[in-house]
Structure 1
């Protein structure tokens, strides 16, 4: 898969052929997004054309609503890996700037969709490219002027509710990892580098690694989780704490710290990824470090049993 970082206006030819173009922001690349991409793939194979996905470098809400605190399910690298697994040929990333946000619906079609050489556009029923009362999928044929075909996917639901990134973000914030996993079609993942923490875990016999996130990500509910952690291409069962280290210090900073089972390496500044499986308990302030250590021993046993039961 080739990642194309677009600059606007698009002045050069980016592909040698026409493409089937899937439109969306695709945060999380959840099961609804996967159905859309699969449908676009079917069209691409039938027409013997490559599949291109158009996304943006930031969520439009950051510009339209001035949201500087928007939290994502995927950073661009994570999104790209998922797209590649789904067989996408080109991932086009457009900079969503204030100027770009002011394109008229006709300008978006003429200066983006046409410039990307779309033979067919595939998008969800609720995709918009400007003011939603005008720039919607119902009106896209008017702006297209018969220059490309249009395939619209209906609303995707699970359990009677719409499958959407907003619902998944809320599930993660609530600690409902099972629901998030079902809607994503995979486990929620957070990636970044290992930072230098306070090394308190080492003193207790539970050496943890401190995740420094790559980008603004949705943070799971405060507590302890069954997770798996990827280091140097290998996954390790692990337990991960999301919290303020209330027993050891008073802090307003949230720490994400993982204790990897059967692992003992110095990996400061290395890249890691954490997969989130199950919420086990909330954060507790213990009267002593001995009490904290006893609880960590219980946590490890419970989480080891959780993964053992999954494998059986």
Structure 2
């Protein structure tokens, strides 16, 4: 998979390949996002062109001053790995800054999308673009002017609500790992540095950490997965995360990937006293 970082306006002298494109921030790359991206891949195969994804870095809301978007379900490196596993050929990472936030919906199409030689675009039903998100999915169809096709994917829902990044974020913050994992279509995972002497785990990317509690997890160590327990205590400002493993190998990498299985306990007073995993490192 090729990654191209671009800024607005694009370089007019660059020869971009024809692609079928999925557009979105795609935080979490959840089940709804996957349908959008899979459709872009499907159309690329039909047309005999490359499949591509356009995402933005950093998050538009963080640039515009929202304090709610300083941590993410999938930081950019994780998101790119998921795109690659899905079979995406090319990813455009668009630099989002205040100047770009002022671009009109018309210029977003004429000076960005058209210059990239896009032949087919897939977006979600709630897609918006341009200054203050004034451009909507139906506007994209009108602005295409037969230069590219546009397909809008309808909402993907659970039995009770829309599957969305917001609802996954809320589930994680409530410790509802099973719900978050179902909406994601995979286990929620984080990466971080591990200091085995005191079992301390330090989250490195700006990942969302679940609610306070004791979690059953699986940890990737070299090429194997090992069960363990991760204790999260946001009230401990110095060392909020502690990790314990079952039968850990003799050597451990400094950086670990942790996948969440379920919440074992959210009783603050009992954290660490009766761990699911009794053998520490």
**TM, length-normalised to structure 1:** 0.82
What do the CA deviations read for 1:198-235 (whole angstroms, capped 9, x no partner)?
x45xxxxxxx2x33223221111111110001122321
The 2-side partners of 1:92 and 1:77 are apart by 13
- Is 1:139 matched with 2:116? no
The 1-side partners of 2:179 and 2:240 are apart by 24
The 1-side partners of 2:27 and 2:134 are apart by 24
What do the CA deviations read for 1:175-203 (whole angstroms, capped 9, x no partner)?
11110011000000101222x48x45xxx
The 1-side partners of 2:264 and 2:36 are apart by 34
- Is 1:275 matched with 2:259? yes
What do the CA deviations read for 1:133-185 (whole angstroms, capped 9, x no partner)?
74001111332222111111111111141110000011011111110011000
SS at match of 2:127: coil
**TM, length-normalised to structure 2:** 0.91
| Counterpart for residue 212 of structure 1 | 202
Residues 254/136 of structure 1: CA separation in 2 closer, same or farther (3 Å cut): farther
> What is the correspondence of 1:110-259 to structure 2 with a 5 Å cutoff?
110-131=110-131, 134-194=134-194, 196=195, 199-200=197-198, 208=199, 210-243=200-233, 251-253=236-238, 255-259=240-244
Quick check: 2:22–2:123 contact (8 Å CA) kept in 1?
A: yes
- Is 1:261 matched with 2:246? yes
The 2-side partners of 1:53 and 1:160 are apart by 29
Residues 233/8 of structure 1: CA separation in 2 closer, same or farther (3 Å cut): farther
Unaligned 5+ residue runs, structure 2?
A: none
What do the CA deviations read for 1:53-111 (whole angstroms, capped 9, x no partner)?
00011221112344375320011111111111111001111111011111111111112
Quick check: 1:223–1:279 contact (8 Å CA) kept in 2?
A: yes
Count of equivalent residues: 277
Cα deviation, residue 282, structure 1: 2.1
| Counterpart for residue 36 of structure 1 | 36
The 2-side partners of 1:133 and 1:257 are apart by 41
- Is 1:300 matched with 2:277? yes
